[in-house]
Structure 1
Amino acid sequence: MDVSPKRLHHSVELDEVDLRIIEVIKTDGRISNNALADAVGIAPSTAHVRLKLLVERGVITGYMASIDQAKLGLGLQAIIGVTLRPITRKESITRFAEQVRGLPQVLQVFFLGGSDDFMIHIAVRDSSAVREFVVEHLSAQPSVASTRTSLIFDYHRNALVGSFQ
């Protein structure tokens, strides 16, 4: 195993223990400290300190629960590409992102370089709700030039797999 420190993103050095801790918590963010220590092969006190340092250094930015949206009655997910009009672009980008992030249907918002300015990941009950979201929350905004909607049939995120029936 390569035990030399790895420099990732602007001056954060991660050694082999850090990388093993990250791999373990990526698949189970709720793992107990003792189980984490066993999985990585270090003392529980070392696991606690190293995990705390990864958080303090900004490597670990939070923990999220993976929610089965279908069990909440939101069985249809979509990705919507949004292109903004070129006029007053900086202000419209900021305003658009702030407005969309707060909508209850929105799971994720991606600001992009390329043909689309944003990709918006939503979860809703059915195709009528997708249409309603696009018409009321996207197309109605004066800064939006166009949208492209793609329905999600299945997805894979980190070590989690979700499928919809």
Structure 2
Amino acid sequence: MLGPITLRNAQPPARRDSDPANTLDHVDRQLLIALTEDAGVTNKALAGRLGLAESTCAYRVRALREAGIITGTRIQLDLALLGYPLQAIIMVRLGSHTMANVNQLYDALAATPGVVQAFHVAGADDFYLHVAVENAEALRDFVLQHVTSHRVVRQTETHLVFDVRGGAGVLTAPPGR
């Protein structure tokens, strides 16, 4: 649990810098850490956890949203329980790298049912797709019907995912929490 935060006044500090990341203070960072751990926490619980007034907490979270630092909330699904126990990373290489081809394929791949995340990457490959499917046959069909069917795709390589764990992220809680 995060310790209480002592504030000199109830108003958040003025935002003077055009780069939102440079204007985050200790309270903002603690709010982001807490929300990263549980995005569904109520304002009342969040304020209590951090030792803030509920109005200050709500104001700060709203300011973080308006600054574009908080861009939404997400839930984490158990894909296996939903009937999609097989996950894979599909590496995709293109034969043609025009802006139009890249953007069209990226949009198409990201919009394909079964794609958990689509990454446009640098290096030998152009895209990584994290997909979840019902079984090996569905994975084969996914690659053939939704990836290699695009004329600009030159090559794919598929890697099965054994396990997925979230990382520590970019914000960390203070030691001894």
Which TM-score tier does this pair reach, normalised by the shorter chain?
0.7 to 0.9
**1:27·1:158 contact (CA, 8 Å) conserved in 2?**
no
Select the residue among 112, 115, 122 that pairs with 1:106: 115
Q: Number of residues paired by the alignment?
A: 151
| Residue 132, structure 1, aligned to residue 141, structure 2 | yes
Aligned position for 2:161: 152
TM-score normalized by the length of structure 1: 0.87
TM-score normalized by the length of structure 2: 0.81
Q: Pairwise mapping of residues 59-138 of structure 1 onto structure 2 (< 5 A)?
A: 59-86=69-96, 88-138=97-147
Q: Which amino acid aligns with 2:160?
A: L
Select the residue among 28, 46, 51 that pairs with 2:38: 28
Q: 3-state SS of the aligned residue for 1:137?
A: helix
Aligned CA RMSD, in angstroms, stands at: 1.7
Deviations 1:6-60 (A, max 9, x none): xxxx711111101000000101011011111122221111110000010110000
Aligned position for 1:162: none
4+ residue runs of structure 1 moved beyond 2 angstroms? none
Aligned position for 1:163: none
Where does structure 2 lack aligned partners over 5 or more consecutive residues? 1-12, 169-177
Where does structure 1 lack aligned partners over 5 or more consecutive residues? 160-165
